[in-house]
C-alpha cells in the first residue's frame, strides 16, 4: 500500500456483525471501513483504495455473491471474501468457480482463522500489486529498448550513408592522385610507406618497386628518413637534390601533411634527375 496501511471494506446489513469484525481487527494494522449494503459498498469502493472486501452473502436487494461479482468486474485486483452459513455453501460454489470470490468463511467464524485468512488475502493482494508493477516496468523497459533500437537503426543508417560518402570521396581522391602527372608517395610519421600512385608504379616498372607497408629505408637512404623527420618537426617542405634511391638518382620534395593529419605523415614527390 502507498500509505503503508491496507484498507478493508466490510459489507453486512447486520450491525452486530460489523461491530464484531471491528473488534476482532481493531489491533491489526488495517483500516476497516464498513457499509450496510452493496450499494453503499460500491460508493465506498469508488472513493477509497480498497485492498480487501469482506461481504455477507444474505443481504436484502443485492446478495453478497452478486455484489462481489460487480466488484470483480469494476475492481478486479481487490481480493473478495464472503461470509456465509452452512446452508448457503452450494449457492456460493458456482461464484467461487467463476473467480468472483477468493474464499468463503462459514458463520459463525473462528476468530483466529478469520485473522489468518485476512492476513493471507492481503498478502495475495500485495503479490498481485507487485506483479502488476513489475509487468508495468517490463513494458516500460521494452518501450525504452524499442526506442533505443530505433535510434540505433537510424544512427547505423546515418553512419552507413556517411561511410558511403567517405568511400566515394576516397575513390575520387584516389582517382585524382593516380591521374597526377607526378610520382607521389605517402609516408606515415613512423616512416612506413602507406600510399603510392600509378606514376610511382610506372616509374619503377621492371625494377624493384616501392611497396606499401615497407619502411622508407627499404628503398631510400637513411638521410631521406632523417629529412622526413626534420620536415615533420619543423612543419616545412624540404627539397633534396640527387637523393640516392637504391636503383637510381632522383629529386625529392618532402611536404608535411596539414589540417587534421598535421604531424601524422608526409607526401613525397619523386622526379628523375635529368
Query: In 3-state terms, the chain is what percent helix, strand and coil (to 5)?
Result: 50, 25, 25
Which pLDDT does position 245 carry in this prediction?
A: 60
| Distance between CA atoms of residues 235 and 264, nearest Å | 11
DSSP output for 236-267: --EEEEEEEETTEEEEEEEEE--GGGTTSEEE
pLDDT of residue 187: 93
Sequence-ordered alpha helix ranges (H) in 75-221: 89-97, 111-179, 198-203
pLDDT at position 2: 44
- Maximal C-alpha separation, the chain: 124
Domains and CATH numbers, the chain: 6-129 (3.40.50.2300), 180-272 (3.30.450.20)
Contact 254, 238 (CB under 8 A): yes
Integer Cα distance of 23 and 25 in angstroms: 6
Please list the pLDDT of the chain residue by residue as tens digits (274 residues).
Answer: 444 589 999 999 999 999 999 999 988 889 999 999 999 999 999 999 999 999 998 888 888 889 999 999 999 999 999 988 766 677 677 777 777 788 888 888 889 999 999 999 999 999 999 998 898 888 888 888 888 888 888 888 888 888 888 888 778 777 888 888 888 999 999 999 999 888 888 887 766 678 889 998 888 888 889 999 999 999 999 998 766 565 667 889 999 998 888 999 999 998 887 6
- Separation CA 51–CA 128 (nearest Å): 11
Amino acid at each position: 500500500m502507498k500509505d503503508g496501511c491496507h484498507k478493508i471494506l466490510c459489507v453486512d446489513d447486520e450491525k452486530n456483525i460489523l461491530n464484531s469484525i471491528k473488534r476482532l481487527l481493531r489491533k491489526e494494522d488495517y483500516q476497516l471501513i464498513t457499509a450496510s449494503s452493496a450499494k453503499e459498498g460500491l460508493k465506498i469502493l469508488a472513493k477509497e483504495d480498497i485492498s480487501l472486501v469482506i461481504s455477507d452473502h444474505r443481504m436484502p436487494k443485492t446478495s453478497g455473491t452478486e455484489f462481489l461479482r460487480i466488484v470483480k468486474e469494476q475492481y478486479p485486483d481487490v481480493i473478495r471474501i464472503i461470509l456465509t452459513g452452512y446452508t448457503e455453501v452450494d449457492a456460493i460454489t458456482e461464484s467461487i468457480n467463476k473467480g468472483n470470490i477468493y474464499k468463503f468463511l462459514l458463520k459463525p467464524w473462528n476468530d483466529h482463522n478469520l485473522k489468518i485468512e485476512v492476513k493471507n488475502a492481503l498478502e495475495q493482494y500485495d503479490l498481485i500489486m507487485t506483479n502488476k508493477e513489475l509487468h508495468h516496468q517490463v513494458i516500460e523497459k521494452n518501450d525504452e529498448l524499442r526506442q533505443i533500437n530505433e535510434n540505433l537503426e537510424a544512427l547505423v543508417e546515418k553512419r552507413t550513408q556517411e561511410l558511403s560518402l567517405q568511400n566515394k570521396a576516397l575513390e575520387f581522391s584516389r582517382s585524382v592522385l593516380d591521374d597526377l602527372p607526378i610520382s607521389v608517395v605517402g609516408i606515415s610519421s613512423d616512416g612506413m610507406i602507406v600510399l603510392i600512385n600509378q606514376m610511382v608504379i610506372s616509374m619503377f616498372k621492371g625494377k624493384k618497386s616501392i611497396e606499401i607497408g615497407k619502411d622508407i629505408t627499404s628503398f631510400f637512404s637513411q638521410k631521406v628518413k632523417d629529412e622526413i623527420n626534420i620536415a615533420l618537426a619543423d612543419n616545412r617542405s624540404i627539397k633534396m637534390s640527387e637523393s640516392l634511391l637504391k636503383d637510381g638518382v632522383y629529386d625529392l620534395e618532402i611536404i608535411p601533411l596539414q589540417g587534421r593529419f598535421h604531424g601524422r605523415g608526409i607526401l613525397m614527390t619523386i622526379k628523375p634527375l635529368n
